[in-house]
Amino acid sequence: MLLLKTVISVVGARPNFMKVAPLHKAFQRYTDRVRHLIVHTGQHYDKAMSKIFFDDLELPQPDYYLGVGSGSHAEQTARIMVELEKVLAAVRPDLVIVVGDVNSTVACSLVSVKMGIRVAHVEAGLRSGDRSMPEEINRLLTDAVADLLFVSEPSGLAHLRREGVAEAKTHFVGNVMIDSLIHYREKARGSNTMKQLGLTPRRFTLVTLHRPSNVDAVDGLEKILTIFEKIAPHSEIVFPVHPRTTKMLAQHGLAVKAASLAGLKMVEPIGYLDFLNLMDNAQLVLTDSGGVQEETTYLGVPCLTMRENTERPITCEIGTNVLCGLDVGKIVQLSEAVFAGNGKKGNVPELWDGSSANRIVDVLMSQI
C-alpha cells in the first residue's frame, strides 16, 4: 500500500487565501498520493472576513488554527514559530508551502527548515529593493532558506540568480493569484455590490490603501484626501477602508473631513468576490497593494500605485500600472488622463493563464 505524503500550506493574511486556494484545488488531482492540510496562523484575523474568504474561495476550514493575533513584528513572528513548531512536531509533514511575503511566510519557513522539513516558496524572487518594507526582509529570508522557489515573473528569476540561488531550485510557473482571478471572475460577476453601492460600470475609481508609509502619518493622509477632492468630481470614489486606515484617520483628526467629502464612498472591508467585481468594473484603481497591481494588469484596468517602488515590475513594464508615490500632481494628472479615455494600456504577462497552481503541484509531486 502506497503511503500518503503530507503537505502543509500556510495562510496568514488575506492575500494568502487567494494563493493557497488554487493550490488546494490542484492537489485534489493527487488525493491517492498526498494529504494536503491548511494551517491558518491567524496573523490577520477577523472572524467575519475569514469566513467570507474561505466561503468565497471554496476552501475547507483550516486543519489547524494557530490564533497568533496582532502584535509587533517580533511578537507576531515569535508566536507563529512557537505554535507552528507544535503542529509540525505532531504531523511531521513531508513539505511545507509558504506563499507571499507576510510574517507568517518567514516564520513558518524558519521553523520548518530547522526541523528538517523541506520548504516551497510560492511567489519567490520578488524584490522592491526597499529594505524599509518588512515584506522585503521576509522575501529575502524566505528565499534564502527555501528548497523550492516558484516564480511568478521574469524579474524573480533574475533576482534569485543574482543572489546565488541554484537554478535547479527555481521554477518559473506564473501567478497563482491570477489562477484565482480567472477561476472566480464569472462567479464574481454575480455579486450585487455594484447595485448596493449605486455604481455604474467604468464610472468610478476603486481605492485600496493600507501601507504605513501612506496611512500612518498625517501628511500622507492629507495628501490622499486632497487627491480624492480633486478627482471625485470626475469619477465617484469607492474606498473599502482597511482597519489601520480607519484608526489613523481618527487618530489624526481627519475622519470627519474624509466622511464629508462629496463623491467619496467609504465602506467596510469586503470579501474577495465583491472586491473582484468592483475591480473588474472600475474606471481606475488607486492602490498600494502588490496583488492589486497584478490583478488590474490582468483585467486591463488602469492602476496608479501610491508607492515609490514595486516588487512586481512586470505590471509597469507591460501591464497597466504606473508608480506615482504620493505625488498629488502626478496622480491627479494621470487620473484625468484615464477619465478622458487616455489611460495606460497593457498586456497580460507570460504564464498568467490560470494554470500556475497545476504547474507548481506537478513539480512538487515529482519531488516528494
Phi, psi of 268 (to 5 degrees): -65, 155
Is-contact 146 109, C-beta < 8 A?
Answer: yes
Instruction: Report DSSP letters for 169-219, one per residue.
Output: GEEE---HHHHHHHHHHHHHTT--HHHHTT--TTSEEEEE---HHHHTSHH
Catalytic (active-site) positions: 210
- Helix or strand run (H / E) with residue 230: helix 218-231
What's the CA gap between 335 and 203, in Å, rounded?
12
- 28 DSSP assignment: G
The grid cell for 151 is: 516564480
What's the CA gap between 202 and 204, in Å, rounded?
6
Is-contact 305 321, C-beta < 8 A?
Answer: yes
How many other CB atoms are there within 10 angstroms of residue 165's CB atom? 18
What's the CA gap between 197 and 259, in Å, rounded?
16
What's the CA gap between 279 and 299, in Å, rounded?
8
SS3 content of the chain, % helix, strand, coil (to 5): 50, 15, 35
What's the CA gap between 338 and 282, in Å, rounded?
11
Type of residue at 274? D
The grid cell for 281 is: 468594473
